[in-house]
A = this chain, B = another copy of it.
Amino acid sequence: MTNTALTGVIPPVCTPLTPSYEVDTGSLTRLVDHLVAGGVDALFLLGSTSEVAFLPDRHRKVVLDTVVGHVAGQVPVLAGVIDMTTPRVLDHVDTAVAAGVDAIVATAPFYARTHPAEIRAHFRAIAARAGRPLYAYDLPVSVHTKLGTDLVLDLAAEGVLAGVKDSSGDDGGLRAVILGRRERADIADFSVLTGSELTVDSALWMGASGVVPGLGNVDPHGYVRLVRAARAGDWAAARAEQERLFHLFELVTVGGTRMGGSSSALGAFKAALHLRGVIDHPTTAPPQIPLDEDETARVGKYLAAGGLI
């Protein structure tokens, strides 16, 4: 992967698990085939949707080795290196590079209290170690820091960052990066990706390069149609597709208030993949609470309403 801007649909790939919480590599490769067949432009392994926060290091390595080997260059593979601070992240970088991934995705430090100057140093150290494109992952709901526009653009101009995945939900901020990029000729190929499942048409309209949708596991074809319609200038079709996906996304609420948002959303994605026959088990990692029968049935209804089963 060169520094040419990454564009299109890059789903954060779910990590199928066996009932005993091992990585289900058979299901994982089927999921990858499902995504590639759906027309996605790249794969993002070990993001939040991949339950990276729940995966021990040996599972992370299994995921990387399995997918990089299976994909065999059909599409670029990005790897999350999610951990608290630089030294721990660098170890994950080494593993990912050894596995042969094409690019790295990192958040700002978390758990430790950080300063913007420290966040800059953090990304610089990761880029230096990785020797391949680095994407910043802006996820304040988990990291409890919002990456500033200037920080992102400065690190782009320095050559540290090849792009940003903006999961902050702040579309004004997203636009600030997009317009900031336009003003600087030297970062024309900086990739601005939205992490929102719900405003992809408008993000593309503003000039975003692509999308990293968790729901893209369940319906990659939908997101691919959305992006292709936008590229073709058929914005009404893009919007119609987005609106269908908006309703489909409501499946993440089936767990209600008896579990955390992660259990409900990731549980629903996996239940949907299981119901669609892509993965063998809807298992999520502890301490997440599994969906019960009724909740799973409601996931099924969303799939039916979305024309997916």
Contact = CB atoms under 8 A, between A and B. Distances in A.
A111 B246 contact: no
A142 B287 contact: no
Nearest to A88: B56
A209 interface: no
B87 A118 contact: no
A263 interface: yes
B196 A202 contact: no
A122 interface: yes
A144 interface: yes
A198 B86 CA distance: 30
A119 interface: yes
Interface in A76-132: 82, 84-88, 90-91, 109-115, 117-119, 121-122, 125
Nearest to A259: B115
A263 B115 contact: yes
B262 A205 contact: no
A175 interface: yes
A57 B91 contact: yes
A121 B110 CA distance: 23
Interface in A146-177: 169-172, 175-176
Interface in A245-275: 246-247, 258-263
Contact of A171 (B118, B199, B262, B285): B199
Interface of A: 21, 48, 53-57, 59, 82, 84-88, 90-91, 109-115, 117-119, 121-122, 125, 141-144, 169-172, 175-176, 179, 196, 198-199, 201-202, 205-206, 235, 239, 243, 246-247, 258-263, 285-289
Contacts of A109: 53, 287
Contacts of A121: 286-287, 289
Given A110-B110, A259-B118, A262-B112, A54 B87 contact: yes
A288 B118 contact: yes
12 contacts: A21-B87, A53-B109, A54-B112, A87-B285, A112-B288, A113-B142, A118-B260, A122-B287, A169-B170, A171-B198, A175-B246, A201-B205
Nearest to A108: B287
B243 A286 contact: no
Given A179-B246, A260-B112, A286 B87 contact: yes
Nearest to A239: B205
A259 B175 CA distance: 25
Nearest to A199: B171
